[in-house]
Amino acid sequence: MAWDFSTDPEFEAQLEWIREFRNEQIAPLDLLYPKLPYYPLEGDLGVYVRSLREQVKARGLWAAHLGPELGGQGFGQLKLALINEILGGSNWAPNVFGTAAPDTGNAEIIAHYGTDEQKEMYLQPLLNGECFSCFSMTEPHAGSDPKMFTTEAVKDGDEWVITGSKYYSSNARTSKFVIVMAWTNKDTSAYQGMSMFLVPSDTPGIEIERHIGMFSEHEDEGMHALINYNGVRVPAENLLGGEGQGFHVAQTRLGGGRVHHAMRSVGVMRRALDMMCERALSRETQGSLLADKQMVQSDIAESYAQLEMFRLLVLQTAWKIDQHHDYKLLRKDIAAIKFMMPSVLKDIVWRSMHLHGALGVSNEMPFSEMWQWAPSMSIVDGPTEVHKITVAQQVLKGYKPSPGLWPTEFLPPRREWARKVLDERIAALKTGAPA
């Protein structure tokens, strides 16, 4: 029976290298240039980051989410989870390791659905780390319900003409191309009537109305664009996947993305717990260390158990993906980690931040970004409620209503049944007949 939670020593050595590389080589970038990982690499910074990427490639760790045919290692989701756990919480690490969102998901769908020409033109530069990409699906009036989207693409000769508005399109600012979801047949359902298009970012008619920032970011720092597509023309061959396959393509993309976010979140949780424990052992008040106070111990214990439970759920889901290679089959598992992630993250980061007192809420500790990650994660790739609905619906599929008025576990008839069975069996034993 295979039931093993260990990491083989060879891969553990890789993980150890990644840990040290992140702490020694990438941390300076996170501390000095936290906002820059999604901007084109320029000057001395570009020289430094490219040298880091070369080391990652030499170590065989570049683009670990991809199979060997696309320049990755084909590690699978479980190993990727262990890698992402280390990269999580570092702004620059995904860029340095070639696993930054939304490029990872975009690369996956182009690899999966793209033609040879599309792969050469859009996928290859992405995999080489030469450009950024953007995924443009959410609309200003509708996010959680794609059925409400209105952006449309109409065929005109050899071209598609795209018209509509999209909200929160991450990295539009620096992207070389955008993947846009639009209706191509409004006479059918959203599941069959939408398609995906590859649109170079400099195509006439693309108007970025503004770059939306998050929380306290300055107006000019926002990375999530409100985009108007004003009759944007692309050649017919820019359709990604078949006509009407848009919803399907989006599901493929989001399935993987949700797991990757969960893996990175485990890294953030671990960091918050580490900080909490160090502080508890360092700070003394009211005659003893914080670590000796029972309420603090309770917080540490709760945080540890929540983290380990969530981590196991993520690793098990990653393992299942490796076994079945089918995101649809695993939608319950993926939705479960998606909705658990922000709540566990919020609990652990909150306790850690709180234990640091005034220092915790100051801008001299890294809590504010960790803390903002939680509410963002409860929205990005679909809000918590929608994923809970998915889990509940999938779980309920395994059940039937009780056959009569009373539940099948209703005790009076169960006891009656037990009494009858026991009486018969004991009687049989007494007479020597087979029970």
The secondary element (H helix, E strand) that includes residue 154 is strand 152-156
386 scored as a contact of ligand FAD (CB under 6 A): yes
Distances (CA, A) of 95 to 62, 290, 369: 10, 38, 18
380 scored as a contact of ligand FAD (CB under 6 A): yes
For residues 205 and 383, which CB has a smaller minimum distance to ligand FAD in the complex?
383
Q: For ligand FAD, which residue of 382, 387, 390, 391 counts as binding (CB under 6 A)?
A: 382
CB 194 within 8 A of CB 247: yes
102 scored as a contact of ligand FAD (CB under 6 A): yes
135 scored as a contact of ligand FAD (CB under 6 A): yes
Q: For ligand FAD, which residue of 62, 75, 160, 168 counts as binding (CB under 6 A)?
A: 168
**Interface segment toward ligand FAD; rule CB under 6 A; list 108-116, 133-141, 280-288, 351-359:** 133-141
For residues 82 and 240, which CB has a smaller minimum distance to ligand FAD in the complex?
240
List for the chain the helix, strand, coil content (%; round to 5): 55, 15, 30
Nearest to 180 by CA among 192, 191, 193, 169: 169
Distances (CA, A) of 327 to 206, 257, 259, 318: 33, 11, 10, 10
Terminal C-alpha separation, the chain: 33
Residue type, 148: M
Q: For ligand FAD, which residue of 51, 144, 251, 298 counts as binding (CB under 6 A)?
A: 144
For residues 241 and 360, which CB has a smaller minimum distance to ligand FAD in the complex?
241
Q: Which residue is nearest to ligand FAD (CB)?
A: 143
376 scored as a contact of ligand FAD (CB under 6 A): yes
For residues 21 and 168, which CB has a smaller minimum distance to ligand FAD in the complex?
168
For residues 147 and 324, which CB has a smaller minimum distance to ligand FAD in the complex?
147
> Judged by CB under 6 A, how many residues of this single chain contact ligand FAD?
20
Q: For ligand FAD, which residue of 385, 416, 423, 424 counts as binding (CB under 6 A)?
A: 385
137 scored as a contact of ligand FAD (CB under 6 A): yes
CB 142 within 8 A of CB 171: no
CA dihedral 122, 128, 131, 136 (to 10 degrees): 50
**Interface segment toward ligand FAD; rule CB under 6 A; list 19-27, 266-274, 279-287, 384-392:** 384-392
For residues 78 and 109, which CB has a smaller minimum distance to ligand FAD in the complex?
109
In the range 301-320, which residues lie near ligand FAD by CB under 6 A?
Answer: none
Cis, peptide link before residue 403, omega less than 30° from 0: no
Residue type, 424: E
379 scored as a contact of ligand FAD (CB under 6 A): yes
For residues 18 and 335, which CB has a smaller minimum distance to ligand FAD in the complex?
335
CB 199 within 8 A of CB 184: no
251 scored as a contact of ligand FAD (CB under 6 A): no
Structure tokens at 227: 């985009």
CA dihedral 7, 9, 12, 14 (to 10 degrees): -140
CB 184 within 8 A of CB 194: yes
Q: For ligand FAD, which residue of 91, 99, 169, 317 counts as binding (CB under 6 A)?
A: 169
d(CA 136, CA 172): 9
In the range 221-250, which residues lie near ligand FAD by CB under 6 A?
Answer: 224
138 scored as a contact of ligand FAD (CB under 6 A): yes
CB atoms within 10 A of CB 367: 21
Q: For ligand FAD, which residue of 91, 136, 195, 265 counts as binding (CB under 6 A)?
A: 136
Minimum distance of ligand FAD from residue 417's CB (angstroms): 41
Site residues (CB under 6 A) for ligand FAD?
102, 135-138, 143-144, 168-170, 224, 376, 379-383, 385-386, 389
